């Protein structure tokens, strides 16, 4: 596989008109990946999800060059509200439509604006090495986007055993706002999706970001989000994690200036042998910032769920208010749940807490509901829906809230 990978990389370089500086960045990232390989359980961040073993088990070989002549079928999504949209096919920008907005206030472009960092995370090395374009969405200063922006991500028909390395950056200038929903519509074949995103939220700006993995697929995914918040900015981030065979959401948030705030909530809802992980790091760098995290998991069959969450408070981040809670509901003895909550605090005037609980469904509650006329399966469904609905109710956009309930089958 290593020899094939090198041939793929050489072909990427030869087929695209990269500048000398871009080639240098790509080569350095490729060399670091080629030397170290995929992360494995010896890496602390990957102790619960050995991506090296997962890739080896699911793929005999991976193709890193995707035929852009493949066709795809655009399908309807269950959206019952007005929205803007951007369509991506196999990780590349295909089309966009902002019919509800002032066109001069939103900029969508595609370039190869790579940074010159060679990361320790070799999946980021892989992403930088094989990217052929970076898509960037910019919301201009003072503009509030009126309707939600849906990012439709398609995989072309027949695509299989392919590695899709893509990057979509978002930049909110000062005094702006955006609601964005990430939607992946996939074929049934097995592919590896390595997605990276850098997000900047300007002064007094608000981003509502909803990441919805609901469509059942055999795909293996790694999502890396690096988010920077400026003064008096706010991030609402929600994750629905239930569709893919494997996915790791790796989210790093930096509160870079005072009075920033983050509300990060998520659901892991799994069956069969699915394996999902959410990993978050909230870095409080300045004073008077707040962060709130609530992750709930429901695991059935032989599924595996993981939550790793860390709150870091620097010495300059006095008057920090940080909260983190993970709760898991285990529906049988074959499931596995791992949690690793962390606090690392270097300031003395702070209010921080974290916690993690896991347990079986309450049989007394089941008995009570059955005594009221429900079947065992109906009782269990009602209890699990109520357990997850607490997180869904924290979604502030009512249209998106209804959509998430519809996708997850929760009607409480």
Indicate whether 335 pLDDT > 50: yes
pLDDT digits (tens, 9 = 90+) for 248-297: 999 999 999 999 999 999 999 999 999 999 999 999 999 999 999 999 99
Task: Quote the percentage of the chain above a pLDDT of 70.
Answer: 95
Question: Mean pLDDT throughout 221-233?
Answer: 97
Locate 290 and state its tokens. Answer: 């707040």
User: Is a pLDDT exceeding 70 seen at residue 1?
Assistant: no
**Mean predicted confidence (pLDDT) in 158-165:** 90
User: With 70 as the cut, is the pLDDT of residue 188 above it?
Assistant: no
Q: Measured between alpha carbons, how far is 267 from 241 in angstroms, rounded to an integer?
A: 6
pTM of the predicted model, to two decimals? 0.94
Query: Which pLDDT score is estimated for 71?
Result: 63
Mean pLDDT (the chain, rounded) = 92
Give the whole-angstrom CA distance, residue 340 versus residue 285. 22
In which band, very low, low, confident or very high, does the pLDDT at 378 lie, cut at 50, 70 and 90?
confident
pLDDT for the residue 365: 85
Task: State the average pLDDT over residues 129-134.
Answer: 92
Residue 184 has pLDDT above 80, yes or no: no
Q: Which residues contact 301 (CB under 8 A, 6 or more apart)?
A: 270, 271, 272, 273, 332, 334, 335
User: How many Å apart are CA 256 and CA 282, to the nearest integer?
Assistant: 11
Highest mean pLDDT among 101-115, 336-350, 397-411: 336-350
Residue owning tokens 């027949």: 158
Confidence of residue 145 (pLDDT cuts 50, 70, 90): very high
- Around 295, how many Cα atoms within 13 Å sit in the side-chain half-sphere? 30
Strands 177-185, 149-154: pairing kind: parallel
pLDDT digits (tens, 9 = 90+) for 58-103: 998 888 887 665 666 666 666 889 999 999 988 889 999 999 999 8
Q: How much is the pLDDT for 78?
A: 66
- Tens digits of per-residue pLDDT, 40-58? 999 999 999 999 999 999 9
Mean pLDDT of 305-318: 97
pLDDT at 69: 57
pLDDT-derived band at 4 (thresholds 50, 70, 90) equals confident
State residue 184 phi and psi, 5-degree precision: -115, 120
In this prediction, residue 389 has a pLDDT band, given cuts at 50, 70 and 90, of very high
Q: How far apart are CA 258 and CA 289, in angstroms?
A: 6
CA distance 343 to 309: 9
How far apart CA 210 and CA 351 sit, in angstroms, is 27
**Cα–Cα distance, 55 to 60 (Å, whole number):** 9
Q: How far apart are CA 102 and CA 204, in angstroms?
A: 20
* Contact in structure between 46 and 308 (CB atoms under 8 Å): no
- Yes or no: say if 293 and 309 are a contact pair by the CB < 8 Å rule: yes
Calpha distance 241→223 (Å, rounded): 12
> Residue 109: which pLDDT band, with cuts at 50, 70 and 90?
very high
Banded model confidence at residue 16, pLDDT cuts 50, 70, 90:
confident
pLDDT of residue 234: 98
Interatomic CA distance for residues 161 and 60, integer angstroms: 8
* CB neighbourhood size of 1 (10 A): 12
The predicted model gives 106-116 an average pLDDT of 88
- Domain borders along the chain are 2-408
With contact defined as beta carbons under 8 Å apart, do 151 and 180 qualify?
yes
**Is it the case that residue 208 has pLDDT exceeding 80?**
yes
Above 80 in pLDDT, residue 185?
no
| Number of residues assigned to the chain | 412
The answer, yes or no, to whether residue 38 has pLDDT greater than 70, is yes
Asked whether the predicted pLDDT for residue 138 surpasses 90, the reply is yes
Q: Among candidates 362, 291, 302, which has minimal Cα distance to 332?
A: 302
Task: Give the whole-angstrom CA distance, residue 271 versus residue 298.
Answer: 9
pLDDT at 412 (0 to 100) = 47
């Amino acid at each position: 596989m290593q020899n094939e990978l090198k041939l793929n990389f050489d072909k990427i370089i030869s087929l695209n008109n990269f500048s000398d500086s871009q080639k240098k960045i790509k080569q350095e990232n490729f060399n670091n990946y080629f030397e170290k390989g995929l992360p494995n359980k010896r890496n602390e961040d990957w102790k619960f999800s050995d991506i090296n073993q997962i890739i080896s088990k699911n793929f005999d070989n991976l193709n890193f060059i995707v035929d852009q002549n493949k066709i795809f079928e655009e399908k309807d999504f269950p959206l019952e509200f007005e929205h803007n949209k951007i369509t991506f096919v196999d990780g590349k920008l295909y089309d966009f439509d902002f019919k509800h907005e002032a066109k001069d206030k939103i900029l969508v472009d595609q370039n190869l604006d790579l940074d010159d960092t060679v990361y320790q995370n070799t999946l980021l090395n892989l992403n930088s090495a094989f990217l052929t374009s970076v898509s960037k969405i910019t919301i201009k200063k003072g503009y509030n986007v009126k309707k939600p922006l849906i990012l439709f991500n398609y995989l072309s028909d027949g695509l299989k055993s392919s590695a899709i390395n893509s990057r979509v950056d978002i930049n909110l200038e000062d005094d702006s706002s955006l609601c964005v929903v990430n939607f992946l519509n996939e074929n049934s074949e097995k592919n590896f999706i390595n997605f990276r995103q850098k997000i900047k939220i300007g002064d007094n700006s608000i981003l509502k970001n909803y990441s919805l993995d609901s469509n059942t697929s055999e795909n293996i995914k790694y999502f890396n989000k690096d988010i920077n918040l400026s003064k008096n900015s706010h991030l609402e981030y929600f994750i629905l994690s239930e569709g893919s065979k494997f996915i790791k959401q790796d989210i790093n948030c930096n509160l870079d200036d005072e009075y920033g705030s983050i509300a990060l909530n998520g659901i892991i809802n799994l069956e069969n042998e699915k394996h999902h992980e959410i990993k978050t790091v909230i870095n409080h760098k300045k004073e008077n910032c707040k962060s709130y995290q609530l992750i709930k998991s429901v695991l059935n069959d032989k599924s595996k769920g993981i939550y790793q969450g860390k709150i870091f408070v620097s010495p300059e981040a006095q008057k920090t208010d940080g909260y983190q809670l993970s709760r898991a509901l285990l529906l049988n003895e074959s499931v596995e749940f791992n949690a690793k909550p962390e606090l690392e605090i270097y300031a003395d005037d702070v209010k921080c807490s974290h916690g993690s609980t896991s347990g079986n469904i309450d049989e007394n509650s089941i008995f009570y509901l059955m005594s009221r006329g429900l079947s065992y399966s109906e009782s269990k469904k009602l209890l699990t829906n109520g357990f997850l609905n607490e997180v869904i109710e924290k979604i502030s956009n009512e249209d998106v809230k209804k959509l998430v309930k519809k996708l997850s089958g929760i009607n409480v």
